[in-house]
Amino acid sequence: ATPVAILVGTGRGAERGILITGPEALDRAGDVDTILLDKTGTLTTGRMSVTRVTVADGVDAAHAVGIAAALERGSEHPIARAIVEAADASGSAAGGARANGFRAHAGLGVDGVVDGVATAAGRPGFLTELGFLMPTGLARRAADSDDTIVAVGWAGEVRAVIEVGDTVRDGAREAIERLRSLGLRPALVTGDAERPAARVAAQLGIDEVHAGVSPEGKLEIVRAAQSRGHRVAMVGDGVNDAAALAAADLGIAMGGGTDAAASASDLALTRDEPGAIADAVSLARATLRTIR
Ligand code: ADP
Ligand code: MG
Distance, CA of 38 to CA of 199 (rounded, Å): 14
At 117, the pLDDT band (50, 70, 90 cuts) reads very high
The answer on 283 and 177 residing in a single domain is yes
The answer on 124 and 38 residing in a single domain is no
What pLDDT was estimated at residue 283?
82
Enter the ipTM: 0.94
DSSP code at position 133:
B
Cβ pair 188, 197 in contact under 8 A: yes
Query: Of the residues 116, 134, 165, which one is the last residue of a structural domain?
Result: 165
pLDDT at residue 171 is higher than 60:
yes
Mean pLDDT rounded to a whole number for the chain: 90
SS3 188: strand
Percent of the chain exceeding pLDDT 90 equals: 73
Residue whose CA lies nearest to ligand 1 atom number 22:
109
What pLDDT was estimated at residue 284?
78
SS3 109: strand
Instruction: Tally the domains of the chain.
Output: 2
pLDDT at residue 7 is higher than 80:
no
The answer on 83 and 122 residing in a single domain is yes
At 8, the pLDDT band (50, 70, 90 cuts) reads low
SS3 234: strand
Looking from the CA of residue 215, the nearest atom of ligand 1 is: 6
Domain interval for residue 236: 3-45+168-291
Q: What is the pLDDT of residues 187-218, one digit of tens each?
A: 999 999 999 999 999 999 999 999 999 999 99
Q: Which ligand is nearest to the CA of 84?
A: 1
The answer on 260 and 190 residing in a single domain is yes
Query: Of the residues 147, 165, 183, which one is the last residue of a structural domain?
Result: 165
**Better-predicted residue by pLDDT, 102 or 3:** 102
The answer on 39 and 183 residing in a single domain is yes
Contacts of 199 (CB under 8 A, 6+ apart): 146
Distance, CA of 49 to CA of 81 (rounded, Å): 8
Q: In the sheet where 18-20 sits, what is the strand order?
A: 18-20, 267-269, 250-253, 232-236, 34-38, 185-189, 208-210
Cβ pair 117, 124 in contact under 8 A: no
What pLDDT was estimated at residue 216?
96
Q: What is the pLDDT of residues 81-94, one digit of tens each?
A: 999 999 999 877 76
Of the listed 31, 33, 38, 249, which one is catalytic? 38
Residue from 53, 110, 123 to probe ligand 1 pocket by mutation (most atoms less than 8 Å from CB): 123
The answer on 285 and 181 residing in a single domain is yes
Burial of 278 (0-12, 13-18, 19+ CB in 10 A): buried
The answer on 182 and 37 residing in a single domain is yes
Q: Which ligand is nearest to the CA of 74?
A: 1
The answer on 205 and 131 residing in a single domain is no
Is 38 in the active site? yes
Query: Of the residues 165, 189, 218, which one is the last residue of a structural domain?
Result: 165
The answer on 180 and 156 residing in a single domain is no
Residue whose CA lies nearest to ligand 1 atom number 4:
40
What pLDDT was estimated at residue 31?
87
The answer on 118 and 70 residing in a single domain is yes
The answer on 214 and 157 residing in a single domain is no
SS3 97: coil
Kindly list the protein residues whose Cβ atom lies closer than 6 A to any atom of ligand 1.
38-41, 72, 75, 77, 79-80, 107-110, 121-123, 148, 150, 190-192, 238, 240
At 2, the pLDDT band (50, 70, 90 cuts) reads low
Describe the chain by its helix, strand, coil percentages, rounded to 5: 45, 25, 30
Q: Report the CATH number that the domain containing residue 139 is assigned in CATH.
A: 3.40.1110.10
Which of 37, 27, 33, 30 has its CA nearest to residue 232?
Answer: 33
Q: What is the pLDDT of residues 152-168, one digit of tens each?
A: 999 999 999 999 998 99
What pLDDT was estimated at residue 18?
86
The gap from C-alpha 64 to its chain's centroid, in whole angstroms, comes to: 24
Task: State which residues have CB under 5 angstroms from ligand 2, the bound ion.
Answer: 38, 40-41, 237-238
